[in-house]
Amino acid sequence: MSAPGEHSVLESVRLDDAWALVEELAELVRESGTEDERRAVGAITSRLEAWGVPHRVYEPVCLISLPRAAGLTVGGRAYAAKTPSMARSTGPEGWTARLVYERGAFAEKVDEIFAAAPGEADVAGKFVLTEGFPMPGTVVQLEERGAAGVVCISPGERIHEGICTPVWGSPDLATYSRKPAIPVVSVSRSDGLAIVEQAEAGGVAATIVAEHEEGWVPIPVVVAEIEGAVEPERFVLLHGHLDSWHVGVGDNATGDATLLEVARVLYEHRDRLPRSVRVAWWSGHSHGRYAGSTWYADEHALDLERNCICHVNCDSPGCRDADVFEDVCWSAELADFARDAIRDFAGLPAEGRSPLRAGDISFQNLGIPTFFMLSSTMPAELRRERGLYAVGGCGGNVEWHTEADTLEIADRDRLLRDMRLYAGAVFRAAALPLHPLDLRLTVAQIDEAARGYGEVVDVRPARAALESLYESAAGVETIEDARPFNDALLRASRELSRVLYVRGGRYRQDPALDAPLLPDFAAAAAAAGTVPNGVVETELRRARNRLEGALQRAAEAARL
């Protein structure tokens, strides 16, 4: 499938403006809500103004946590440490407790970074030493077991920055209490091995120091809008984060530059663009658990729910050695579209998975499908040859979230390739007469996931209604004629996406924790044996009702 005008759009993509922005951002430590981040906003908006691209700068007030000091002392020996954003601050004197070691594991794949397997040791009132990044899954389960603090061992010698709260975006009444109430620090791998020896000797005391600059502060959100010529109210949302750990070139200055170039090119070709494209730069990604994108989802919820075709996250494109698309995320209904786009615009095959609960995927509760999230990465075999470990960005380079994510991480040729991919994919998604949503794939994934829980759900009415809808729409050639079919697709998509990916309410946010498909059934399966059987059966009954109701409503929406 292709859209008229694609070739001209791709031919217009150029490197010069984007690379100049990468170089400029490589000099700025873009912590959320800080002066350097405001300078970065100026670097972007000055270019948008020069090109005449309509845009707006919002300043929502969000909860932001900036790590400021950290340390760890074990048995009288001091170790270098970092504390993740949103951990509990101890004050300069620190907290002291006995340290115990609970063996963890280092992630071998990107999706494993966010998972956490609960242990069984008695950790109540103790600091727990374990392997891995200080991700919410690890911190939450240890805090629930009564741990007084957490010490994470990094998989390499660099200590990576991060954020440990499961609260997605700024908290509300339902989520405020979920913010971690214990201190968390990370140490290097070699120091971690030494500390393991001390902990296993038994009875060793440790002191954690963790200090944060935390509060409700205004942060910038920049949104450019290229208005469509035929159906301007309907749009594709392309976005990425502006804030960074240190100067953050691969994560995410290259992404910010890609957004800028796509905005320039699509505005240049706006007469060929039938629907609108919004291009957004979020703050609060690194230091507020996606606070900027979550604010936008809250502030524009009804418009997004009614008119957003899909959203496309742009994180870490154009990085050194990133020559494959093996870790792409896509909603089921967009899998074929995304795979075709990567083949057509980057000339490469692609492998993907369901969206991770990460990376500014802040629109799932609204039922809006997505594709990409992460961009190109280095091949897995090259990573193994170099003895590297899995990270969550920078094209697989282990400088991710460290002081070493500098200009050397970016690659000019790969950035140009990835910018063409984003420009082509977003243009195509906005320009095709029929929205690129194959909901038959979503229904198939629902059916497969349900069977994995031992559930047999009758998906035949929904599948038949969708087949009939696609058959009727097969000959549609104009945006105007496609409108009733597209309205039906969006209504059905919202129903199916929500039940497949999220548990929370339509205008809420699920936590930043590992999220299996059909999470209602996953929760019931996880609770089996830990609560009375009647509780599990009640949960399953309600999960079945929710799923069957979503399938029925999707089928009704598809019957024009």
Give per-residue pLDDT as tens, 326-341. 989 999 999 999 999 9
Residue % of the chain over a pLDDT of 90? 93
The type of residue at 46 is: S
Distances (CA, A) of 528 to 77, 115, 207, 345: 44, 19, 38, 47
Confidence of residue 117 (pLDDT cuts 50, 70, 90): low
- Is the pLDDT score of 560 beyond 90? no
Q: Six-digit token pair at 430?
A: 């906005």
Distance CA 132, CA 154 (A): 6
- Is the pLDDT score of 513 beyond 70? yes
> What's the confidence (pLDDT) of residue 132?
94
Over residues 493-520, the mean pLDDT reads 95
Q: Six-digit token pair at 184?
A: 């968390």
> What's the confidence (pLDDT) of residue 161?
98
Bridge partner list, 313: 239, 372
How many CB atoms sit inside 10 A of residue 480's CB?
12
- Is the pLDDT score of 233 beyond 80? yes
Per the prediction, the chain carries an average pLDDT of 96
Backbone angles phi, psi at 305, to 5 degrees: -65, -35
Over residues 48-60, the mean pLDDT reads 98
Bridge partner list, 58: 221
Residues sharing a CB contact under 8 Å with residue 460, sequence separation 6 or more, in sequence order:
none
Query: What number of residues does the chain have?
Result: 560
